[in-house]
Chains A and B, each alone.
Chain A
Amino acid sequence: MAVRKNQADLTATEKRNFVDAVLELKRSGRYDEFISTHNAFIIGDTDNGERTGHRSPSFLPWHRRFLLQFEEALQSITPSVTLPYWDWTVDRSPRSSLWADDFLGGDGRSGDGRVPSGPFAFGNGKWPMNIRVDGRTFLRRSLGTGVRELPTRAEVDRVLAMTVYDAAPWNSSSDSFRNNVEGWRGPNLHNRVHVWVGGQMTTGASPNDPVFWLHHCFIDKLWAEWQRLHPKSGYLPTGNTPDVVDLHDTMKPWNDVTPADLLDHTKFYTYA
């Protein structure tokens, strides 16, 4: 059984194995397919139309499946690798070991935001931006500029206390646990972290920054925490909802997996 760990607890070897597997997926072209998929959904998901990956109840199971697929791809390179998670309520500084050069590399430099060092720095030649929204081909970050503070544990706890998984109209205006986690309402958890990192993380092509996976792994863990806190609250809606993935509807792009299949993460991995 795969165990997903807090990135702060990884050994030097675990960090190196993770980084090397990510770089190999990039070299082989498989990494960019994940960016394309994410970008296609972020453009296609609309509040008044079909919505699957974002601004909808399936935001959480869709990303759970997306991360599983990425983790399987990493494990095809190095079987021992699992996704780490970034608890940004604790590691909330640009000086965190997350941003050291032996892991994700640091903040972007002033002026053009280019990440100057670490495995994903442009100068290493191993991390080209092939799927991008503008002409710049280097990884950028601007930690803590777009918004000054990452969410706090108190804000997370406020959202985890919400008892209803999701609610009509099942989009970015819903008053629900899912929408408060996603960040379109309430203290703003998931969305704000994208903005805090800056650079490609603020765009539809956000998986260009490997921190995307660590951020979403923590979002996934928060869903698991919420389930433990509210064992009687289930995924909603459960049927006949236009444009929205119901509990037993299959999700694009896989078309062979439903939210119901993904509710129990312990079938696939556990969190340390």
Chain B
Amino acid sequence: MSRPTRRQMLHGSAATLAGAVLAAPVALSNTAAARPAAGHGHSEGHQAPGGHEMPEPFDEVYQGRHIEGWPADEEAPENGSRASDASHGGHGSRAHPRSGQAGPHEGMDFVVRIDNDDLHVMRNADGTWISLVNHYETFTTPRTLARAAVRELQGADLVPVVTG
């Protein structure tokens, strides 16, 4: 069974079905060894602090939670191929800290989701990563960050962040 099909099983909404199809390259690349960011064609116009390479997309079940992540600019409208937020589980209307200014992932280099809910992440100047759940501790990759968040959450769901 391919990973996209499993995603369809896990998340049965029509929007998620579309997302699963569009995300197929993401899921396939999950099986490959780490490859340089250039292989994903998002060197153009991307802010990579300190010239660090963009991490690989990932999509896995970790301790019973579905964690996934992909470079944020892969779904930017100007890139075309990744279409809209609706392709990623219908969370486009989700209240995001910066949703008043732009799309839900504006300002983020990398999108991380746990069971289809956004986890706000940030890249440090040295290339390490932090998340809103572990904000004072750095991680080498978004995947290790997502796994740490799963351990911290102990089964709890992420909720949209209120920043007043």
Contacts and interface: CB of A to CB of B under 8 A. Distances in A.
A171 B122 CA distance: 13
A39 interface: yes
B136 A40 contact: no
A213 interface: no
B14 interface: no
Given A40-B97, A46-B107, A204-B161, A113 B125 contact: no
Given A40-B97, A134-B153, A136-B156, A202 B163 contact: no
B47 interface: yes
A236 to B, nearest CB: 18
Given A33-B164, A135-B159, A47 B135 contact: no
Nearest to A173: B125
Contact of B122 (A37, A46, A113, A133): A46
B156 A43 contact: no
B137 interface: yes
Nearest to A47: B125
B53 interface: no
A42 B131 CA distance: 10
Contacts of B122: 43, 46
B37 interface: no
Contacts of B158: 133-135
A48 B49 contact: yes
A22 B49 CA distance: 40
A43 B120 contact: yes
Given A47-B125, A172-B126, A133 B132 contact: yes
Contacts of B76: none
Contacts, number: 94
A46 B121 CA distance: 11
A191 B123 CA distance: 16
Q: Taking chain A's interface residues, is the majority helix, strand, or loop, or is none over half, making it mixed?
A: loop
Given A36-B163, A135-B157, A47 B136 contact: no
A190 B137 CA distance: 11
A195 interface: yes
B124 A131 contact: no
Nearest to A199: B152
Interface of B: 47, 49-50, 97-98, 107, 120, 122-126, 132-138, 152-154, 156-159, 161-164
Given A36-B164, A43-B161, 15 more contacts: A42-B132, A43-B122, A132-B159, A134-B159, A146-B137, A171-B125, A172-B125, A173-B126, A184-B124, A192-B136, A194-B135, A195-B134, A202-B137, A202-B152, A204-B161
Interface of A: 33, 36-37, 39-40, 42-44, 46-49, 55, 112-113, 131-136, 146, 169, 171-173, 183-184, 190-192, 194-195, 202-204, 206
12 contacts: A39-B164, A43-B122, A133-B161, A134-B156, A172-B124, A190-B136, A191-B137, A192-B136, A202-B133, A202-B152, A204-B120, A204-B132
